[in-house]
Amino acid sequence: MSLSIARSFLSEACYGEQELDANSALMELDKGLRSGKLGEQCEAVVLFPKLFQKYPFPILINSAFLKLADVFRLGNNFLRLCVLKVTQQSEKHLEKILNVDEFLKRVFSVIHSNDPVARAITLRMLGSLASIIPDRKNAHHSIRQSLDSHDNVEVEAAIFAAASFSAQSKDFADGICNRVSEMIQALDTPVELKLKLIPMLQHMHHDASLASSSRELLQHLVDSYPSTPMVIVTLHTFTQLAASSLIDIPKQLQLLLQYLKCDPRRAVKRLAISDLKLLAKKAPHLWIRENTQTLCECALSSPYDGLKLGMLAVLSTLSETIAIKQYFNNPAGGSSSPPRITDLVKLAQECCYHSNLSVAAHGVRVLTNIAVSCPDKDIVHLEQDTILGVQSLLMLCSQDESPSSQATLKMSLTSLVKLLKSRPHLSQSAVEFLLGQLHLSCDPSRVLMCHALAAIASHLPVLGDGMLGDLVDLYRVASHSSTDQQQELLVSLATVIFVASQSSLSAEVKTVIKQQLEHIANGWTVYRIARQASRMGCHEFSSELYQSLRTRVASEHFYFWLNSLKEFSQAEQCLSLVEDGDYSGAMSAIAEALRSYQKGIASLTAASTPLSPLTFQCDFIKLRIDTLQALSQLICTCNSLKTSPPPAIATTIAMTSGNELEKCGRISLQMKVCMDDFRSLASRYADLHQSSFDADYATLRNVELQQQSCLLVSHVIEALIVNPQATSFQEFGTVGSVQTESEYERRMISVFNRVLEEVEGLNNKHPPVSYLHTGCLCDAVIALLKVPLSFQRYFFQKLQSTSIKLALSPSPRTPTEPIPVQNTQQLTLKVEGVVQHGSTPGLFRKIQSVCLNVTSTLQSKTGPDFKVPLDSKTNEIEQRVEPHNDYFSTQFLLNFSILGTHSVTVEASVVDESGIEWRTGPKTTVSVKSMEDPYSQQLRHQLQQSAAPPPPQRAAYSRF
């Protein structure tokens, strides 16, 4: 019964379930460990990794591992094996064991068992713990002793432990290297054991002398044992050692290329190719031209397709790096003849039309990278070869649904898109070929081609109109069944149509898409298409799709989510109908949009749950609402120049104050208020950007554009009205040179440039404020409103999830109870934290360090009422810590010399690999009560008593 309770504790808590604390879960598992039934004991042991994942803090992990160590010490071999597996699965939690000595003592006691299997399990347990006990001499001695065992299981376990300790401990690696060398070279050592001992040498890289002696031994083994298994294991160990020590990579490249060129065994050649690819990824800058040339010659002379494919894969990896430039750059006084240097191009051209499609795809990839990276070569010839190679591959692969053909097609299309981005003049013919091939291809190939067409049209929007007709015709006949491939094709085709239409769908296109969706598409497909329409700015169409989906969901949260999306789309559709110069129409459209946005934000709030709070979505929409209100207020302010002209004495007031802007009356003050509002909005957009650590790059760029639009409006107000003399246009002068990635970004930057040109033409003209200035401001507002807002991926979907969980000690017994501390002492606040990830950690950015900021403020004072210095009231300390295995810990010394209640706030933020700080939270607050220490209190009472006047003595005559 206890294990079922523990399973419910450790399972994912659903919405509304009560999660119990870690101690309760540990107690239930402990009951299972103490059970008399072996099955319940094993089940309890295997539940511990879930416990560590859910409560990853040292106090619980230390207690749990001590209990597991007791099971390991007292249980049978099967239980020991279960504990070993749990330890290996929980490797990143091992450093949180506080009582390492006690844990090791309980585990190590089994090493003296008479059972060789128990000793073998213990050795593997010690090897799994090598990261926390790298220099324990008793463990080192036991491993060395077990290498001489006559039991094969124990020897294999000793080899595993020795390899683990060698990777962690320099002393152990120095001591074991000679012992391993003797065993490998001994005649009585079986070959199978030698094959297991050799990989241990890859960890002998702690210093140059150790690495050098290991290389000499490996070189001796390669020369002395020419059998295929020995050569394969030795060469791979050679490569791993070189990749770790770095200084021997050039020698290793030459050795591998020598075996690739001269050794006739295909297994050895395959191993050499695999290791060459590893070194190509690890250190492409160390590949000199001769290395690449040798690899090309081997590929040209190889009659085997499998080997040629492997060598081309290495060359395609190299062609994306600096190695390709080193290959084509002749060194001064180089002796290589010019024809020999084109072997790489010759090889790629031959392979483009190879009968093996994978070989042909890699040939196309190499040609593409050469054409993109080396423009000084015969570029026209290479461009044509690449285009023809891609076209031949498309024709061969587009009708084959096999996974290998689809992988080849994807690689060739990726190469085509990469070439067209750097050579736009080739795009027209390539797009025409793709459109023609779409009608003849199978459904999976059509999906990949649609992705390629969408990428091309996003980069070159001028091609969109040309492909729209063919795409709509294909959509009419695209789907005849409701299979997954057909559903994916509907989404991909709709996406290309949206990209090609550039947010302006015609009635015919809408009708065609709706007919297909009504007959064949399921609800998820319709939602995905609506989501793409919102991303591309087709808000009228997306609103209709969300409207049709609202009643097809099974949860009220989903209903409110779809309803909010419908309202947002309707709001943006209202804004897209604004016409140039129609200022009253713009205000009406903004008012209508704000009504829809207010309805939408209410539905969005109702759609949020504790597990999915929709924080980014709510903040983004609130900012959008405030931005629209600020734009509406700006138009009203501009109109006030007509509706509320300056009074007759405005000129006198301006001359008296020396401010020429006072001639305009109340509009001057209103414009300053508007300018401050837009700067405040820009600051809030910056805060939203800084808190969106898990957002994709397109979403962050969208937030940046919203921030820049607010800064632009405030800049225009300042340049035209508030302070024309002190305004500079250099800050916004480079927006035209930014490389745009989406149609929305392209339109926004076009609006920015046009507005800046108009403002620069009016700057310092017609002072102080004229109708030209207010008209320019209103035109800028309308231009910004007419760009359809793009709802990017992070608004709908979170691909990366990162959160931080903090634990403070000392912690109060109850949340409302303060932590007591004496005012003459300092409080040591220990902050522990765990970084928790989703299914794809580090997809967009990774955490380099965690910044912890601790501040304390005086809430209420209980001591004597006298003036307290400000620095005595507060503590403010900041520390940066680097998490190790997603765990970090640090301590703060806080001073509470002022008696009273203090509030201590700990806020965490993360710093990514680029050094950018992100305010991810969380923020934790505890109360601290500073009390007077007993000695000071006693002294104070004594002083008070000595200072008090003595009590009056009763005189003898007082009774009379």
CA 322-324-327 angle, 5° bins: 115
Number of neighbouring beta carbons within 10 Å of residue 757: 10
Bridge-based pairing of strands 802-809 and 819-822 is: unpaired
Q: How far apart are CA 458 and CA 498, in angstroms?
A: 10
Contact assessment for residue 563 and residue 550, using Cβ atoms and an 8 Å cutoff = yes
Residues forming a β-bridge with 88: none
| Residue 918 bridge partners (DSSP) | 910
Q: Give the long-range contacts of residues 375-379, CB within 8 A, separation 24 or more.
A: 377/328, 377/345
> If DSSP codes are grouped into helix, strand and coil, which group holds residue 83?
helix
pTM above 0.85, yes or no: yes
Structure tokens at 383: 């461009």
- CA 254, distance to chain mean position in Å, is 38
pLDDT, residue 208, reads 87
Please give the pLDDT value at position 519. 80
Contact 72, 85 (CB under 8 A): no
Q: Tokens representing 431? A: 């797009």
Q: How far is CA 790 from the centre of its chain?
A: 22
pLDDT of residue 736: 45
Residue with tokens 């007082």: 958
Helix (H) or strand (E) holding 895: strand 887-895
Q: Which residues of 850-877 are buried (b: 16+ CB within 10 A; e: fewer)?
A: bbbebbbebeebeeeeeeeeeeebebee
Q: Provide CB contacts within 8 A for 641, sequence distance 6+.
A: 664, 667, 769, 771, 774
Nearest to 372 by CA among 329, 409, 321: 321
For residue 19, what pLDDT is reported? Answer: 43
The pLDDT tens digits for 914-926 are: 999 999 989 999 9
In one letter, which amino acid is 344? Answer: L
Q: What gap in Å lies between CA 931 and CA 591, rounded to an integer?
A: 57
Please report, as a single letter, which amino acid is at residue 385: D
From residue 11, how far is each of 8, 82, 888, 899 by CA, in Å? 5, 20, 25, 46
Position 653 scores a pLDDT of 57
Query: pLDDT tens digit string along 233-269?
Result: 999 999 999 998 878 899 999 999 999 999 999 999 9
Tokens of 534: 């919102």
pLDDT of residue 16: 37
In tens, the pLDDT along 633-677 reads: 999 988 887 766 666 555 555 556 655 555 565 677 788 899 999
Tokens representing 257 are 């290329």
Cβ atoms of 662 and 668 closer than 8 Å: yes
| C-alpha to C-alpha distance for 791 and 573, rounded to whole angstroms | 13
Tokens 């000679």 belong to 178
d(CA 200, CA 907) in angstroms, rounded, equals 45
Mean pLDDT by 10 residues, the chain (960 residues): 59 43 83 88 91 89 94 93 95 91 94 94 95 93 92 94 93 90 88 92 89 90 90 94 88 94 93 95 91 92 91 93 83 44 82 90 92 71 87 90 91 93 88 89 90 90 82 80 84 91 83 86 91 92 93 91 96 90 91 96 94 93 96 90 63 58 68 92 96 94 95 89 62 53 88 89 67 86 93 93 91 86 89 90 91 91 60 80 92 89 94 93 91 74 70 52
